[in-house]
Chains A and B, each alone.
Chain A
Amino acid sequence: MIMSPGWRKFALAVHLTLSIGWIGAVAAYMALDFAAATSQDAQTLRTAYLGMDLIARSVIVPLAFASLLTGLVVALGTKWGLFKHYWVLISLLLTIFATVVLLIETRTIRYFAEIASAPTATTDDLRALGSTLGHSIGGTVVLLVILVLNIFKPQGMTRYGWRKQQEQRALSRP
């Protein structure tokens, strides 16, 4: 079902806000992740791990799901469709991939936070935990690729999109 122009703009605005918010939240998370990777100070490490857990669970995961959901609404409610154009299809696959990796990574972050919140954890225990910087950087790159695809909308119709277009043409012919 194609949305009316007003609803389409509203849905697009919500989707853009949530998607760009996701990138912003990851940037804030990366600052703490970087501190966790480089700091030698127990207090800084403790604060970083607890902050990473809070941002990941309370902001990044909800934004990821909301972005995925609103993306589906925008794609299915406009002429673009979900499987008709390569840029939409690739954006969808990358978003699903990023969300799955994020959900797996939250287990690691949760574990870091549990160790960091234990009063018995020593500085060596905290230093030994490490960071999730590799995944943060990788995730940011994936999100930026999706952003570029959505802005430039490179041309290219899938075979499914072409078939649908042919069906539409056949129906519209007198």
Chain B
Amino acid sequence: MSSKLASDRTRKEETDMDSPPKTPRWVKVFGIIVLALIVVVVALLLFGPDTFGPGEHGPARHIPSSPTQQP
């Protein structure tokens, strides 16, 4: 019985080795999460509050658009 199971497993592994491996489930889940995060970030950049709005993200958002008036 056990030798049959072992031979089945070996046969399965050999079959697996002869065909390209499928993408693992964890990679698919990871990809979906990354894609969802990208969608959220793009949505925030386009429609979010001021700090995420168009042209408001990145170092430029901290720099005043008009020069500070000197006394």
Q: 0/1 per residue, B1-43, Cβ < 8 Å to A?
A: 0000000000000000100110110110010000000000000
Which of B20, B21, B30, B63 makes the CB contact (< 8 A) with A111? Answer: B63
* A154 within 8 A of partner (CB): yes
Indicate if the CB atoms of A104 and B23 lie closer than 8 Å: no
* A42 within 8 A of partner (CB): no
Beyond A156-B21, A157-B21, whether A104 also contacts B26 by CB under 8 A is no
Beyond A90-B30, A104-B58, A108-B58, whether A156 also contacts B24 by CB under 8 A is yes
* A14 within 8 A of partner (CB): no
Which of B26, B51, B62 makes the CB contact (< 8 A) with A156? Answer: B26
A154 to B17, CA, bound (A): 18
* A11 within 8 A of partner (CB): no
Indicate if the CB atoms of A162 and B30 lie closer than 8 Å: no
Q: How many residues of A contact B (CB 8 A)?
A: 21
Beyond A108-B58, A111-B59, A112-B62, whether A154 also contacts B20 by CB under 8 A is no
Nearest to A169 among chain B residues (CB) is: B17
A104 to B57, CA, bound (A): 11
Nearest to A134 among chain B residues (CB) is: B51
A169 to B17, CA, bound (A): 10
Which of B20, B26, B51 makes the CB contact (< 8 A) with A162? Answer: B20
Beyond A104-B58, A108-B58, whether A156 also contacts B63 by CB under 8 A is no
Q: Return chain B residues, CB-CB under 8 Å to A112.
A: 62
Nearest to A105 among chain B residues (CB) is: B59
Separation in Å of the B11 CB from the closest CB of chain A?
17
* A130 within 8 A of partner (CB): yes
Beyond A156-B21, A159-B21, whether A130 also contacts B27 by CB under 8 A is no
Q: Return chain B residues, CB-CB under 8 Å to A165.
A: 17
Indicate if the CB atoms of B59 and A156 lie closer than 8 Å: no
Separation in Å of the B12 CB from the closest CB of chain A?
15
Q: Return chain A residues, CB-CB under 8 Å to B23.
A: 86, 156
Enumerate chain B interface residues (CB-CB to A < 8 A): 17, 20-21, 23-24, 26-27, 30, 51, 58-59, 62-63
Enumerate chain A interface residues (CB-CB to B < 8 A): 86, 90, 104-105, 107-108, 111-112, 129-130, 154-159, 162-163, 165-166, 169
